[in-house]
Amino acid sequence: TCESLMEGAVVLRQFALAETDQLLAGIRQVTAQAPLRQMKTPGGHTMSVAMSCCGEQGWVTDSRGYRYQPEDPVSDQPWPAMPEALYRFAGRAADAAGFPGFEPDSCLINCYRPGAKMGLHQDRDEQDFSQPIVSVSLGLPVVFQFGGLKRNERPIKVPLAHGDVVVWGGPARLRYHGVLTLKAGEHPLTGACRYNLTFRRAR
């Protein structure tokens, strides 16, 4: 099923369900080379979400700021290549949501453990905001917050479960959003974890 949250945001419920094995295998492959790590914000806080990346560009944060870069700062080596299954999946999801021709050069892997959250923010480190973002939820469920173009607009709450995919584009691309604190739980495929794959065109 396909629901429209607000203009430009499309929820594809369980769109990834038939492919979770390949997606999780891709996560395992990438994180074996580029381990999940909790990065520091420019303000000096440690993020509660553990992250890794694959593709030509990886999103990083440290005392110098937020940015994309081609190397993993932990290894100083290029990020692992984006597994074909992940790249193809992102393109199919974007197509299904009405954004044909999506060619992501970056996939951020977010790992939320119980207690982890992501505060309201905009994704604006990318060069071209006309490109959509594809987000895949795997494992434990969470409540997503979907706000406006200004931080002070009250966000709506959207529950996201294993296999759900959301595509954000057009007028939704720069909306504030966040993830509420992950509750304790066990998922048969991921254990005590929610993974989110965020596919973006950074350059």
By beta-carbon distance, which residue lies closest to Fe ion?
A: 123
Query: Would you state the torsion angle of the CA atoms of residues 168, 170, 172, 174, taken in this order, to the nearest 10 degrees?
Result: 100
Of the candidate residues 50, 116, 179, 193, the single one contacting ligand MD5 (CB under 6 A): 179
What gap in Å lies between CA 47 and CA 111, rounded to an integer? 11
108: contact with ligand MD5 by CB under 6 A: yes
3-state helix, strand, coil in the chain (%, to 5): 15, 35, 50
Of the candidate residues 133, 140, 167, 202, the single one contacting ligand MD5 (CB under 6 A): 133
15: contact with ligand MD5 by CB under 6 A: no
Of the candidate residues 106, 110, 131, 190, the single one contacting ligand MD5 (CB under 6 A): 110
Stretch that binds ligand MD5, among 25-33, 77-85, 93-101, 165-173 (CB under 6 A): 165-173
**What is the nearest approach in angstroms of Fe ion to the Cβ of residue 198?**
7
E-assigned strands of 97-193?
A: 106-112, 118-121, 133-139, 142-146, 156-160, 165-168, 177-179
Positions touching ligand MD5 (CB under 6 A) are 9, 108, 110, 118, 123, 133, 135, 146, 168, 172-173, 175, 177, 179, 196, 198
